[in-house]
Amino acid sequence: MPPKAPLKVWITRAEPAASVTAERVAALGHQAVLDPLLVVQPLEAEIDLNGVAALAFTSANGVRAFAALTKDRTARVFAVGAATAQAAKTAGFRQVLSAEGDVAALAARIAARKRELKGVVLHPGAAEPAGDLVGALEAAGLEARLLALYDTAPVKPSEATLEALDGLDSVLLHSVKAAKTLALLLRRHPAPQLRALCLSPAVAKPLARAKLREVVKASMPIETALLNLIGR
């Protein structure tokens, strides 16, 4: 039996994470089409860690944005998953715990350490966070605060990607905003053969009415589970 041709997989997440995902896709033997639908835009902010008991990160972008604004690495860090935890360790944080899940799992992990946290849990991240981590922590009786350090803005894919859309097998979607951007794009550029591989049910929701071959949700909200959907 001749070897299967590599599948063409569209990477839509923002850089610099997009390039890392593209490398992982290529390592699986597939062809990565690197063309983000989002771009990260830093916001002006001041870092004040007085009274902060811990930092909670839901993305590597949040870690990088925070690390660019302060050299302080003394705070305990709670990360949503392995990639975010690794970004925190790379940035120089020494006390890093990973929830290995989604925002709900992260909130539960932090709440389990409630007695150890004497102060505010600061959540440096996006201006429009994908989940309500602060609300979940407050519901658990913790004091929490969002610190908006960046925003993500939709960008139009290249003409080359649009022209090759019919030949793509799958599109990887890591965020709700990327899924919404793709849903709008598909109204003008239908791709009924395309499989949308989504990091979570929340990411898949904006594509409920899109004319796609399939919308598939990862078994866990981690990239390894997402990549396992390619070709299945």
Residue ranges per domain, the chain?
Answer: 8-37+155-227, 41-151
Quote the pTM value.
Answer: 0.86
> What is the b/e burial string over 49-75, where b = at least 16 CB atoms within 10 angstroms of the residue's CB?
eeebbbbbbbbbbbbbbbbeeeeeeeb
pLDDT tens digits for the chain (232 residues)?
344 679 999 999 999 999 999 999 999 999 999 999 999 999 999 999 999 999 999 999 999 999 999 999 999 999 998 889 999 999 999 999 999 888 999 999 999 999 999 999 999 999 988 789 999 999 999 999 999 999 999 999 999 999 999 999 999 999 999 999 999 999 999 999 999 999 999 899 999 999 999 999 999 888 999 999 998 8
Two tokens at 47?
Answer: 């870092």
Query: Which DSSP symbol is given to 116?
Result: G
8-37+155-227 and 41-151, same CATH topology: yes
Fold classification of 41-151 is Rossmann fold (3.40.50)
Q: What six digits make up the tokens of 83?
A: 């990639």
Cβ-based neighbour number of residue 19 at 10 Å = 13
The whole-number pLDDT of residue 71 equals: 96
Amino acid at 220: M
| DSSP string for 46-96 | ----TTEEEEEESSHHHHHHHHHH-----SEEEESSHHHHHHHHHHT-S-E
Q: What is the pLDDT of residue 1?
A: 39
**Fold annotation for 8-37+155-227:** Rossmann fold (3.40.50)
